[in-house]
Amino acid sequence: MEQCGSLRKEPLQACLDANLKRIREISGGSTDIIIREVRIGRSEIKMAILYTEGLADKKVITDFILESLMLAIKETEIDLKISDRSHVSRVLRDFALTVSDTNEVSDFDDLFAFLLSGDAVILVDGSPCGIAASSRGWKDRGVSEPAAQTVVRGPRESFTETLRTNTALIRRRIKDPHLWLETIQIGRVTRTDVAIMYIKGIANEKIVQEVRDRLKRIDIDGILESGYIEELIQDKTFTPFPTVHNTERPDAAASGLLEGRVVILVDGTPFVLMVPALFAQFLQASEDYYQRWDFATLIRQIRYISLFISLLVPSMYIAITTFHQEIIPPRLLISLASQREGVPFPAFVEALLMEITFEILREAGVRMPRAIGQSISIVGTLVIGQAAVEAGIVSPAMVIVVAITAIANFVIPAFSVGISIRMLRFGLMALAASFGLYGIILGVIVIVLHLCSLRSFGAPYMSPFAPFHLAEQKDTLFRLPLWALFSRPRAISQNDTIRENNEHPHPESKQNS
């Protein structure tokens, strides 16, 4: 039995029977690899057509390969009678085959790469080279609405699991020849196609080269999803914050390209990667640019407030009720004390129980079938919360705190940042239970210092907050009108930084008649 990746560059032989025998040995006689042996021309040249059932389009093979070889071959009859059979492949490529794309195959490594990608491979007896004819036609999922990144206003297309469909969705939005596309294969066994897209002249060439280098350094047996690539190319492994942005929306990917980012697409997944990634980018949504600027600004500020609520509210509640009761208004303090009467646990254990319970319910809602998953999350939270209060395990105030925290976490557009906040929340809760507000302050300082130390492909992660750039604050906490967003982020692109040259909209002055 052949070991994975052991073919190296074993050349094809001139004998067709020897090649077919070797192919059957390597593939173990797999029944989905179809071998059709035919004879063409009056000289009855022996030939074999190979394709993978389910990956190749049988109609293309029948109409454009078999029919061409059987009928159109008469036009090349003179050339086929030549004694040197090594030229037959060239004659077939130039005069007979009517498929859109053909490639020469000279070794078994390339042969199986084309064959298992859906192409048909033609081998001719007496020729040490074969022909790979384009015939890909597997079943795939059509373009549908995004499942995770939904919008009220904006395009309702999402990427699919097919690489070429995804690149086409981006090209539909950016019809510029300077949108360059490079494709490489990663994975010794899976040989997954990975594409790099960037706009030449806008993207920083150093960042583009760094992306190429990091992808080429990947040595792994298989890539099944873009998450593999994300984890293998990110700048710092030990950080809770994502330094590579992912999206399933073509408009978001196109927007990133126009800002100078590099987009990485992986065959087999609808999620594409964008680098460099800045922290402010994770709190932005595509819809921000489709709504009025004042409404988008309000929504962004709500997101930042929700971020702090999700991160700090449970720990603040623990610290204040445990160490700093003096800052609570007397009436509220009496109300909280009466609610906690009979609760056997300290505030930290109380919060920990509720947070873990909610995380379990959230995960159950995700993993359950879609028809009942949402109902389990909502009903389970209500029932367990009410039962816990009535049983005296937690106080009503703690249920309110956990509910507000969970809802605020859902406001964050990027799911990956939401997970980061959920992880850090538990650490801040432990610091609050140990040191009160001083522990929270210490934890926040450590988080901020860590954020400022991060870089994404050379770009400061906290830009434009740290280092602070006043001119670039117009698209962070605030979203100024589009006519004011005339430059690209300097941390990402230093080439062709001017995006537009529009004036403030105003009525034209009346001309004197």
Q: For residue 466, what pLDDT band results from cuts at 50, 70 and 90?
A: confident
Q: What are phi and psi of 130, to 5 degrees?
A: -115, 180
Residue 229 lies in a domain: yes
Same domain, 315 and 451: yes
pLDDT in tens, 361-381: 888 877 777 666 666 666 677
Domain extent for 222: 163-277
Q: Do residues 257 and 347 share a domain?
A: no
At residue 183, the 3 state secondary structure works out as strand
Kindly state whether residues 273 and 304 are assigned to the same domain.
Answer: no
Give 66's Cβ-side CA count (13 Å radius): 15
> Is position 158 within any domain?
no
pLDDT class of 457 with cuts at 50, 70, 90 = very high
State whether residue 37 is helix, strand or coil: strand
Same domain, 421 and 301: yes
Clarify whether residues 332 and 442 are in a common domain: yes
Q: What are the structure tokens assigned to 155, written together?
A: 């395009």
Cis amide prior to 464 (ω within 30 degrees): yes
What pLDDT sits at residue 475? 85
User: What span, in angstroms and rounded, lies between the C-alpha atoms of 278 and 476?
Assistant: 11
Q: How far apart are CA 492 and CA 485, in angstroms?
A: 15
Domain shared by 264 and 305, yes or no: no
Q: Average pLDDT in the 106-116 region?
A: 91
pTM of the model: 0.87
How crowded is residue 324: how many other Cβ atoms within 10 Å of its Cβ? 13
Strand ranges inside 187-287, DSSP E: 192-199, 245-247, 262-266, 272-275
Residues 270 and 328 in one domain: no
| Residue appearing with tokens 């596309």 | 181
In a domain, 507, yes or no: no
- In the predicted model, what is the mean pLDDT of the chain? 86
| 416 shares a domain with 298 | yes
- Domain ends where: 134, 154, 185? 134
348, 429 contact by CB (below 8 A): yes
In a domain, 511, yes or no: no
The answer to whether residue 490 sits within a structural domain is no
Q: What is the pLDDT of residue 215?
A: 95
- Domain membership flag for residue 491: no
Q: Could you tell me which residue, 298 or 140, shows the higher pLDDT?
A: 298
Both 86 and 210 in a single domain? no
CB 490 within 8 A of CB 472: yes
Question: Residue 480: what pLDDT?
Answer: 86
HSE, side-chain direction, 13 A CA sphere, residue 343: 23
pLDDT tens-place string over residues 312-364: 999 999 999 999 988 988 898 888 888 888 888 899 999 999 899 888 888 88
**pLDDT tens per residue, range 378-432:** 667 777 888 888 888 888 889 899 989 989 999 999 999 999 999 999 999 999 9
| Structure confidence by residue, pLDDT tens digits, 34-80 | 999 888 766 677 889 999 998 998 888 888 888 877 776 655 554 55
Token pair in block for residue 73: 């071959």
Q: How many CA atoms lie within 13 A of 193 on its CB side?
A: 16
> Number of folded domains in the chain?
3
Question: Within 10 A of 53 (CB to CB), how many other CB atoms are there?
Answer: 11
Answer yes or no: do 119 and 51 share one domain: yes
Of 55-69, 110-124, 180-194, 259-273, the least confident: 55-69
Considering only CA atoms, give the Rg of the chain. Answer: 30
What confidence score (pLDDT) does residue 181 get? 95
What is the H or E stretch that residue 320 is in? helix 293-322
3-state secondary structure of 122: strand
Q: Is residue 145 part of a domain?
A: no
In this predicted structure, the answer to whether residue 15 has a pLDDT above a threshold of 80 is yes
Cβ contact 79:95 at 8 Å: yes
- The reply to whether 55 falls in a domain is yes
Kindly state whether residues 261 and 196 are assigned to the same domain.
Answer: yes
**273 and 297 belong to one structural domain:** no
Question: How many whole angstroms separate alpha carbon 198 and alpha carbon 207?
Answer: 10
The span from the CA of 181 to the CA of 173, in Å, is 15
Using alpha carbons, list the distances in angstroms from residue 76 to 36, 49, 89, 502: 22, 19, 12, 61
**165 strand-pairing partners:** none
